[in-house]
Amino acid sequence: MIYGWGLRRTETSKLDVVDFGRNPQARQFGRYGTLYVRYGKAKKGQPPRRRNVLSAMDWAVEAVADYVENVRPHFGFPTTLLCGSPNVVAVCGPARSTTDALKLPKALVPHSLRHSYVTHLTEDGVDRRFIQQQVGHECDSSLAIYTHVSDDFMNTSLHKALAPAFAGVR
């Protein structure tokens, strides 16, 4: 959920199955075309901000659909909560034990997946304003610290930017 929709831990921990809805512009995602985030990061002294996050990765939609329809019913969750508990620990605990078991760097935390979401959309050529809206950032400058593009991407971008200036030059 964090990587597939660029969510924060708290947003993920408070998701309900009913927070998904259809997007008429992306019918291929069915009932998982839009994710309604009800508990986005609040500004100081204000309630949580809501936002709609459009599904952009088909594999993420397929994974959630499979989980909701085939896996989740076997656990007998008493509510509609996706993760079974409205608790950030429910999101972070399994992530930490997995990274420890795989001997991955301690710096790899659930929030790293949010950074990866932004980076991969950027590398795929998705509009910056769209990405900014998806992750719920007011300013593009705050989005910049989330982007960790590869050297290949940087070199390709540089080549594209310079190509018109050197067109016809031998």
Q: Which domains does the chain have, with CATH numbers?
A: 2-166 (1.10.443.10)
Residues, the chain: 170
Is pLDDT above 80 for 79?
Answer: no
Pull the structure tokens for residue 117: 């979401």
pLDDT in tens, 133-149: 999 988 887 777 777 77
| Whether the predicted model's global pTM rises above the 0.85 cut | no
pLDDT of residue 88: 57
Pull the structure tokens for residue 17: 């199955």
Pull the structure tokens for residue 152: 């290949």
pLDDT band, very low/low/confident/very high, at 45 (cuts 50, 70, 90)? very high
